[in-house]
């Protein structure tokens, strides 16, 4: 979030103030602000109209103020269409925001007078104006001059259901005439109809999330109780369509905790996400390749803020498709606008609640008008216009160059963006993508690393590794074979030495023999730990070596992991690794010794310590190779490295279990109880130490205060 917040674009300064004309600008903002007048919808811009001319025009043409406007769209001619819900009309403005006409009354197909009732949605094609006449549960089509064409009522189909309620609030029409409708009372997905209004089906139905407890509880409910506690999917509240026929759909009715979990978990799939991209078949195809899934606010852990909305996910109210496959959503909870590219990277975010220029009191809808973004403010009953700045132009130029495969110009544009915002991850990724598509894979790696983009980094590294392996393939094969042979020879030699030592009968073992015996213990734990104690095949000095090697292995892991395993390049000092290994080991040894002393354990403190340290050898054997391997894997192969580390810990756990059982001559069940008791004892030791430390610090403070008081008095 520290990088995302660096591109939050808000209007910070006022650069020009004239009568009825205010323009807000910001050097790092993607858009600058204008406003439309409440009454006459005039553009507050010194370049468009003077104040006197605007007032005269309003006096002649003003009808009435907006009342609870709910939707705003534009067409290819940049005309503006507003669903003025409270006034039961559609208001049409020309590209300069001058009043053109409105639709409220009309003659329907039966030749009768008809009126719109609470229209909440409007959509415009090259030939028609479509209205979601919400109050009358229908769609009404007009031509571009506002003349009536047809009415499409509630869909008739068994799939739709006889008793289903139909309340259209948003719609879109694709290039083939298919109609997609979001109904506020329909939970089966978007309603799809053909150009004549015939019901086709549902697409993009939201999944139903039921907890395990609810599933269990339903097994004990009667049929009547089950009917009264039916689970319904979330409904959609807004749709927008791209030139290719893909549908953006938003919802605000998914449970907040579910949305929050999906965002913080950085889910790539569309389940429980408030914004989806659907193809005409209803498949969810949105790319969520950014640091966070495109869902608005991501600072969901800031519970210490005084803001009442802190920690809550965004409530998405509308979506609009912008240039170069960008798209924007509005957060009705915070009155903010978030804009993303097609890959799901956040480009910029701006807006806030308030009455100052650039702020909105109640955001309800968003639309693009060429290089402007139009925001509908239902509380102030006006339109706020954000005009794209130079910074925003650079972003769009860079994305356009990428879409046109002009990689050299894309790099140039992204570098200019970085000059204005060095923390903009999408710029680093954009330059990396340009280098990657130009086959400059090594150059791309550096930019992906700067953006912590492990996914794209892996693809580029895979190409670098492929080239490298093609040059060194024979050498790599020889080295791998040689290592396997040497490893096999070493284990064979260690086995022979251990066998010879076991049969020679000498009581005194050399230091080398004590070290080699560790390789026998990890492969033959029952015999190994028995001889470790009774035949004195090991020693404290060898145990200390294994302990030191374990600390070194973890230290190397902290500093030597590859980029995929450690993209933020965090490292730990040798002191931290020393404490992280020694502290739990000593707690285990002390706790086990204290407990087994009370429960007839045969092992001494030394025996427990030696057996525990010998059990750590798999960490050295597996963690070090896994760390080396992590420098040569991609993100899809990283699970292999993690699996090796997990195997090492499981191996150590099994050795500890068998080692304590053999050392104390316990049965499996008694040893299991002892291990659990040891864990409890470790917790008790930590508690006692912390308590003693607190008492000691208070005692020291008391003595210090007494000494200070005595010095002061005498």
Mean per-residue pLDDT of the chain: 84
Mean pLDDT of 615-643: 93
Asked if the model's pLDDT at residue 128 lies above 90, the reply is: yes
What token pair was written down for 710? 């005595």
Asked if the model's pLDDT at residue 328 lies above 90, the reply is: yes
A 10 A CB-CB count for 265 gives 10
First to last CA, the chain: 58
pLDDT band at residue 218, thresholds of 50, 70 and 90? low
Give 668-680 pLDDT, tens digit per residue.
Answer: 999 999 999 999 9
Give 493-518 pLDDT, tens digit per residue.
Answer: 988 888 888 777 666 788 998 999 99
Asked if the model's pLDDT at residue 608 lies above 70, the reply is: yes
Asked if the model's pLDDT at residue 155 lies above 60, the reply is: yes
**What is the pLDDT at residue 95?**
86
Give 173-186 pLDDT, tens digit per residue.
Answer: 999 999 999 999 88
**What is the pLDDT at residue 37?**
41
d(CA 582, CA 595): 20
Domain layout of the chain by residue ranges: 488-696
Query: Considering only CA atoms, which of 447, 391, 449, 389 is closest in space to residue 419?
Result: 391
**What is the pLDDT at residue 231?**
52
d(CA 34, CA 375): 10
- CB of 36 closer than 8 Å to CB of 62: no
Asked if the model's pLDDT at residue 304 lies above 70, the reply is: no
Mean pLDDT of 649-664: 94
Highest mean pLDDT among 128-132, 450-454, 699-703: 128-132
pLDDT band at residue 626, thresholds of 50, 70 and 90? very high
Asked if the model's pLDDT at residue 162 lies above 90, the reply is: no
Asked if the model's pLDDT at residue 201 lies above 60, the reply is: yes
d(CA 584, CA 679): 10
DSSP state letters, 211-244? -HHHHHHHTTS-HHHHHHT---PPPP-EEEE-TT
Mean pLDDT of 31-36: 57
Least confident stretch, 115-119, 125-129, 245-249, 704-708: 704-708
Give 381-393 pLDDT, tens digit per residue.
Answer: 888 888 888 888 8
8-state DSSP, 315: -
Q: Which residue has the higher pLDDT, 414 or 26?
A: 414
pTM, whole model, 2 decimals?
Answer: 0.75
Query: Considering only CA atoms, which of 299, 382, 286, 357 is closest in space to residue 333?
Result: 299
Give 342-378 pLDDT, tens digit per residue.
Answer: 999 999 888 888 777 777 889 999 999 988 899 898 8
Asked if the model's pLDDT at residue 452 lies above 70, the reply is: yes
Asked if the model's pLDDT at residue 53 lies above 80, the reply is: no
What is the percent of the chain where pLDDT is above 70?
85
Least confident stretch, 154-158, 222-226, 337-341: 222-226
Query: Considering only CA atoms, which of 469, 367, 504 is closest in space to residue 74?
Result: 367
Q: What is the dihedral of CA 220, 224, 229, 233, to 10 degrees?
A: 110
d(CA 139, CA 169): 10
**What is the pLDDT at residue 9?**
30
**What is the pLDDT at residue 505?**
63
Asked if the model's pLDDT at residue 20 lies above 90, the reply is: no
**What is the pLDDT at residue 256?**
87
Q: What is the dihedral of CA 572, 573, 578, 584, to 10 degrees?
A: -30
Mean pLDDT of 646-664: 94
Asked if the model's pLDDT at residue 14 lies above 90, the reply is: no
**What is the pLDDT at residue 44?**
31
Least confident stretch, 222-231, 258-267, 396-405, 649-658: 222-231
Overall residue count recorded for the chain in this entry: 714
pLDDT band at residue 519, thresholds of 50, 70 and 90? very high
Highest mean pLDDT among 200-204, 231-235, 646-650: 646-650
Q: What is the tally of helices (H) and strands (E) in the chain?
A: 17, 27
Residue 25 backbone dihedrals phi, psi, to 5 degrees: -135, 160
Mean pLDDT of 113-130: 95
**What is the pLDDT at residue 164?**
73
pLDDT band at residue 2, thresholds of 50, 70 and 90? very low
Q: Which helix (H) or strand (E) holds 712?
A: helix 668-713
């Amino acid at each position: 979030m520290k990088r995302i917040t660096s591109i939050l674009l808000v209007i910070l300064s006022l650069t020009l103030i004239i009568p009825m004309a205010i323009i807000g600008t910001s050097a790092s903002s993607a858009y600058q602000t204008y406003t439309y007048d409440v009454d006459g919808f005039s553009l507050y811009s010194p370049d468009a109209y003077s104040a006197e001319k605007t007032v005269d025009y309003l006096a002649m043409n003003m009808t009435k103020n907006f009342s609870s406007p709910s939707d705003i769209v534009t067409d290819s001619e940049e005309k503006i269409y507003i669903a003025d819900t409270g006034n039961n009309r559609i208001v049409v403005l020309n590209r300069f925001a001058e009043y053109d006409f409105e639709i409220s009354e009309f003659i329907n197909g039966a030749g009768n007078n008809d009126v719109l009732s609470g229209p909440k949605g409007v959509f415009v094609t090259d030939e028609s104006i479509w209205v979601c006449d919400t109050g009358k549960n229908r769609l009404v089509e007009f031509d571009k001059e506002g003349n009536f064409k047809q009415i499409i009522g509630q869909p008739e189909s068994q799939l739709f259901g006889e008793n289903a309620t139909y309340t259209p609030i948003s719609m879109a029409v694709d290039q083939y005439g298919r109609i997609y409708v979001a109904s506020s009372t329909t939970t089966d997905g978007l309603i799809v109809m053909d150009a004549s209004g015939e019901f086709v089906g549902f697409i993009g139905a939201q999944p139903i999330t039921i907890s395990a407890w609810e599933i269990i509880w339903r097994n004990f409910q009667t049929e009547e109780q089950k009917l009264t506690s039916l689970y319904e999917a979330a409904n959609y509240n807004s749709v927008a369509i791209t030139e290719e026929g893909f549908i953006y759909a938003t919802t605000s009715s998914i449970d907040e905790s579910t949305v929050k979990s999906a965002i913080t978990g950085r889910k790539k799939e569309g389940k429980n996400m408030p914004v989806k991209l659907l193809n005409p078949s209803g498949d969810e195809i949105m790319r969520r390749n950014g640091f966070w899934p495109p869902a608005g606010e991501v600072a969901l852990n800031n519970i210490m803020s005084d803001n009442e909305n802190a920690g809550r996910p965004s409530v998405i109210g509308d979506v609009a498709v912008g240039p170069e496959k960008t798209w924007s959503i509005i957060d009705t909870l915070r009155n903010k606008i978030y804009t993303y590219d097609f890959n799901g990277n956040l480009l910029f975010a701006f807006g806030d609640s308030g009455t100052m220029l650039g702020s909105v009191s109640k955001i309800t809808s968003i639309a693009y008008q060429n290089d402007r973004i139009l925001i509908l403010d239902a509380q102030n009953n006006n339109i706020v216009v954000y005009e794209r700045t130079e910074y925003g132009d650079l972003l769009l130029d860079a994305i356009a160059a990428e879409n046109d495969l002009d990689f050299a110009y894309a790099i140039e544009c992204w570098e200019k963006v970085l000059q204005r915002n060095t923390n903009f991850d999408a710029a680093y990724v954009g330059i990396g993508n340009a280098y990657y598509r130009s086959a400059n894979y090594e150059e791309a790696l550096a930019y992906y690393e700067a953006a912590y983009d492990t996914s794209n980094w892996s693809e580029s590294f895979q190409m670098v590794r492929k080239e490298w392996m093609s040059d060194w393939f024979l050498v790599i094969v020889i080295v791998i074979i040689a290592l396997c042979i040497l490893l096999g020879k070493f284990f064979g030699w260690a086995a022979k030495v251990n066998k010879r030592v076991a049969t020679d009968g000498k009581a005194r073992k050399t230091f080398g023999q004590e070290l080699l015996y560790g390789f026998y213990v990890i492969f033959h734990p029952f015999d190994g730990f028995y001889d470790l104690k009774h035949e004195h095949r090991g020693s404290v000095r060898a145990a200390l070596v294994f302990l030191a090697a374990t600390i070194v292995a973890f230290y190397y892991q902290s500093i030597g992991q590859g980029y995929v395993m450690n993209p933020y390049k965090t490292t730990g000092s040798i002191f931290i690794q020393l404490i992280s290994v020694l502290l739990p080991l000593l707690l285990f040894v002390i706790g086990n010794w204290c407990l087994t002393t009370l429960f007839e354990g045969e092992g001494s403190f030394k025996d427990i310590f030696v057996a525990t340290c010998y059990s750590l050898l798999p960490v050295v054997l597996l963690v070090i190779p896994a760390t080396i391997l992590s420098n040569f894997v991609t993100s899809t192969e990283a699970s292999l490295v993690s699996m090796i580390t997990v195997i090492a810990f499981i191996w150590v756990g099994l050795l500890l279990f068998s080692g304590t059982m053999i050392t104390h001559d316990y049965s499996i069940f008694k040893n299991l109880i002892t291990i659990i008791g040891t864990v409890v004892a470790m917790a008790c030791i930590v508690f006692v130490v912390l308590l003693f430390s607190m008492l000691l610090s208070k005692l020291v403070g008391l003595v210090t205060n007494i000494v200070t008081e005595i010095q002061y008095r005498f």
